[in-house]
């Protein structure tokens, strides 16, 4: 195995080479080969489904493609030779309330009228009380490296896959309930999720989607009165909270850990089977007859993981638990736990307050991605020839360049820079260094640079621009400003409004800051879901200035109490 390269994140952008090393030919066309058959079922201009009786999911493909756990019983155990265990959700005890719903997901992906979510049927279906037509719920067996070490069998400990839904666009989505009770993989857990963590997952997956970051989606959030006991800060103080269930969706929930467990336990035939399935279903540009297909698959995952983490960094997102079982094979963001959006710029930002070593600090994410991809390669080695393993190692070495190339592009766009000039990396790195030293707000500094006119920039007039005011307190600010203004003036053929618009479309004005989530959670725990709804609504257009958001102070300097906030770890 190759050793861990040091991925120099952000602060050394100046040294970045901008030529991506392309070791293998990545295939491009991602045309959909599946699902033309389903198009005829739907007329695109026809209406949405008006009740759930017409809604149907299918588990056939997942069940028929793989051996299923031979035991059909819901107790915690060690499981072998299968990908899924059958497991029935445990209904949440009522009364149930619909705390949040994503119209975008319900109508745009699931094809039914959002009004249907007001029904008792929906409350039951979306909380595990009733099974959707066609559903044979499954819990997925996977393993993973946690905090650097192999942890053995993990698996869906409180999530149930309800089945796949093929929508009228021909897309296949896998529906899951999270917080829906025990499975064979629950270990010592109770299979439940509390309101607090469920609100965070619901809001953040939808917010990430609107930021343009690949992610799982959330359709609904249902809360109950069922008591759930949690030691929120692992300090021995157990609190009674309430259970909640999120209905969430992804094209696939397979993870790096899905392959690792098969490899680790010597189930090589099954490893091949799962790989073939994932490639056929989700990497349609790869020819299933290609003898190099596993290698090509690997190169896709390496590339896309590099792109994903670069995107996280560009919006200041720290995932918080980048274990191999929380890393999707499709390189989408999954498993929202103790994540956080960085406020003041700080590469040492750690969202999980119990992560004392800072293993998953924001500035380490690119490195952790590399670590996880190394583990993926280890998992693949039983199906790769010696020569292919060597080539895969070379592919992995290209990760750093792909990541840095993408980071460079993204931050150039954040600064509104067109074309390529020699000093671009320097301008970016210099700015980030000043932001770090002045603790300027990451999101709002970039946003205000998008909103400020060239004239005000030139005059250093930052009236009512609090983040730029902070930044401009740096001793070298004038030097940086001169380079930046000079660089912008080289693209003067373009008018100012065009530059501002370009920048505003990549620099959000609102992100889900912990204090915002916390405030909404406190109300939600008292059955007031208005702030969850408000945040959901505002964060669905994060690049657009909105009156309600301004009134709520979502782009203002964070309140004092926000500094004292600790992220809840147990979920």
Ligand X SMILES: *[C@@H]1O[C@H](CO)[C@@H](O)[C@H](O)[C@H]1NC(C)=O
Residue 356: is it exposed, middle or buried by C-beta count within 10 angstroms (0-12/13-18/19+)? exposed
Is residue 321 close enough to count as binding ligand X by CB under 6 A?
A: yes
Query: Toward ligand X, which CB reaches closer, 201 or 424?
Result: 201
Among 355, 423, 525, 550, binds ligand X (CB under 6 A): 355
**Active site (catalytic) residues:** 325
Integer Cα distance of 232 and 353 in angstroms: 11
Could you check whether the bond before residue 291 is cis, i.e. omega within 30 degrees of 0? no
Q: What is the DSSP string of 103-136?
A: HHHHHHTS-B-GGGGGSHHHHHHTTTSSPPTT--
Largest Cα span, the chain: 73
Closest separation in Å from C-beta 530 to ligand X: 26
Among 43, 188, 386, 560, binds ligand X (CB under 6 A): 43
The tokens for 96 are: 């149930």
Is residue 394 close enough to count as binding ligand X by CB under 6 A?
A: no
Closest separation in Å from C-beta 45 to ligand X: 5
Integer Cα distance of 22 and 159 in angstroms: 38
User: Would you say the C-alpha torsion 207, 210, 213, 215 has a positive or negative sign?
Assistant: positive
Among 136, 325, 424, 531, binds ligand X (CB under 6 A): 325
Is residue 438 close enough to count as binding ligand X by CB under 6 A?
A: no
Query: Toward ligand X, which CB reaches closer, 307 or 487?
Result: 307
Is residue 337 close enough to count as binding ligand X by CB under 6 A?
A: yes
Is residue 354 close enough to count as binding ligand X by CB under 6 A?
A: yes
Name the residue number minimizing CB distance to ligand X: 337
Binding string, 530-569, against ligand X, x = CB under 6 A? ---------------------------------------x
Among 11, 12, 14, 26, binds ligand X (CB under 6 A): 26
Is residue 323 close enough to count as binding ligand X by CB under 6 A?
A: yes
Integer Cα distance of 514 and 187 in angstroms: 29
Integer Cα distance of 346 and 434 in angstroms: 11
Is residue 46 close enough to count as binding ligand X by CB under 6 A?
A: yes
- What is the 3-class SS of 36-74, one letter each residue? HHHHCCCCCCCCCECCHHHCCCECHHHHHHCCECCCCCC
Site for ligand X in 459-478 (CB under 6 A): 459, 461, 463
Query: Toward ligand X, which CB reaches closer, 202 or 336?
Result: 336
Binding string, 281-310, against ligand X, x = CB under 6 A? ----------------------xx--x---
Is residue 335 close enough to count as binding ligand X by CB under 6 A?
A: yes
- Tell me the helices (H) and strands (E) count for the chain, helix number first: 20, 12
The tokens for 215 are: 């992610």
Backbone angle region of 470, left / alpha / beta, with phi > 0 → left and psi within -120 to 50 → alpha:
alpha
Residue 150: is it exposed, middle or buried by C-beta count within 10 angstroms (0-12/13-18/19+)? middle
Is residue 458 close enough to count as binding ligand X by CB under 6 A?
A: no
Is residue 340 close enough to count as binding ligand X by CB under 6 A?
A: no
Among 456, 502, 523, 557, binds ligand X (CB under 6 A): 456
Closest separation in Å from C-beta 394 to ligand X: 15
Residue 38: is it exposed, middle or buried by C-beta count within 10 angstroms (0-12/13-18/19+)? middle
Residues lying near ligand X in the complex (CB under 6 A): 26, 43, 45-46, 144, 146-147, 154, 303-304, 307, 321, 323, 325-326, 335-338, 352, 354-355, 456, 459, 461, 463, 569
């Amino acid at each position: 195995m190759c050793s861990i390269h040091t991925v120099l994140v952000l602060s050394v952008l100046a040294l970045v080479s901008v030529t991506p090393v392309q070791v293998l030919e990545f295939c491009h066309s991602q045309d959909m080969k599946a699902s033309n058959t389903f198009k005829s079922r739907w007329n695109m201009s026809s209406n949405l489904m008006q009740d759930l009786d017409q809604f149907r999911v299918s588990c056939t493909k997942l069940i028929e493609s793989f051996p299923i756990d031979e035991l059909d019983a819901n107790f915690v155990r060690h499981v072998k030779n299968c990908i899924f265990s059958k497991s029935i959700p445990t209904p949440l005890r009522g009364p149930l309330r619909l705390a949040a719903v994503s119209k975008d997901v319900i109508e745009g992906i699931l094809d039914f009228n959002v009004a249907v979510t007001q029904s008792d049927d929906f409350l039951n279906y979306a909380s595990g009380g009733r099974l959707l037509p066609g559903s044979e719920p499954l819990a997925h067996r996977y393993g993973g490296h946690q905090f650097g070490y192999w942890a053995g069998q993990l698996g869906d400990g409180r999530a149930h896959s309800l089945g796949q839904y093929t929508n009228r666009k021909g897309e296949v989505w896998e529906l899951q309930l999270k917080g829906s009770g025990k499975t064979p993989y629950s270990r010592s857990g109770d299979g439940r999720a509390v309101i607090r963590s469920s609100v965070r997952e619901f809001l953040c997956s939808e917010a990430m989607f609107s930021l343009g970051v690949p992610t799982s989606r959330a359709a609904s959030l249902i809360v109950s009165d069922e008591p759930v006991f949690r030691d929120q800060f692992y300090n021995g103080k157990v609190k009674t909270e309430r259970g909640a269930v999120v209905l969430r969706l992804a094209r696939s929930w397979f993870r790096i850990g899905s392959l690792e467990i098969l490899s680790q336990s010597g189930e090589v035939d099954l490893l091949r089977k799962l790989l073939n399935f994932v490639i056929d279903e989700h990497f349609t540009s790869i020819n299933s007859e290609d003898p190099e297909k596993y290698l090509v698959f690997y190169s896709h995952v390496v590339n896309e993981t590099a792109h994903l983490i670069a995107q996280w960094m560009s919006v200041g997102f720290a995932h918080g638990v980048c274990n191999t079982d929380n890393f999707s094979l499709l390189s989408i963001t999954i498993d929202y736990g103790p994540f956080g959006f960085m406020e003041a710029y700080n590469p040492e930002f750690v969202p999980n307050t119990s992560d004392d070593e800072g293993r998953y600090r924001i500035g380490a994410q690119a490195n952790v991605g590399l670590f996880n991809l190394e583990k993926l390669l280890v998992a693949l080695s039983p199906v790769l020839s010696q020569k292919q393993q060597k080539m895969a190692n070379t592919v992995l070495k290209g990760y750093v360049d792909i990541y840095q190339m993408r980071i460079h592009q993204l931050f150039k766009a954040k600064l509104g820079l067109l074309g390529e000039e020699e000093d671009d990396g320097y301008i970016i790195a210099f700015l980030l260094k000043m932001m770090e030293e002045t603790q300027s707000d990451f999101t709002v500094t970039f946003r205000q640079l998008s909103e400020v006119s060239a004239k005000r920039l030139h005059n250093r007039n930052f009236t009512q621009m609090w983040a730029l005011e902070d930044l401009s307190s740096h001793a070298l600010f004038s030097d940086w400003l001169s380079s930046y203004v000079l660089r912008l003036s080289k693209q003067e053929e373009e008018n100012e409004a065009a530059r501002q618009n370009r920048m505003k479309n990549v620099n959000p004005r609102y992100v889900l800051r912990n204090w915002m989530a916390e405030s909404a959670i406190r109300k939600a725990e008292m059955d007031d879901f208005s702030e969850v709804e408000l945040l959901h609504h505002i964060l669905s257009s994060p690049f657009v200035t909105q009156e309600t958001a301004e009134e709520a102070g979502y782009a203002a300097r964070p309140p004092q109490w926000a500094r004292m906030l600790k992220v809840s770890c147990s979920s």
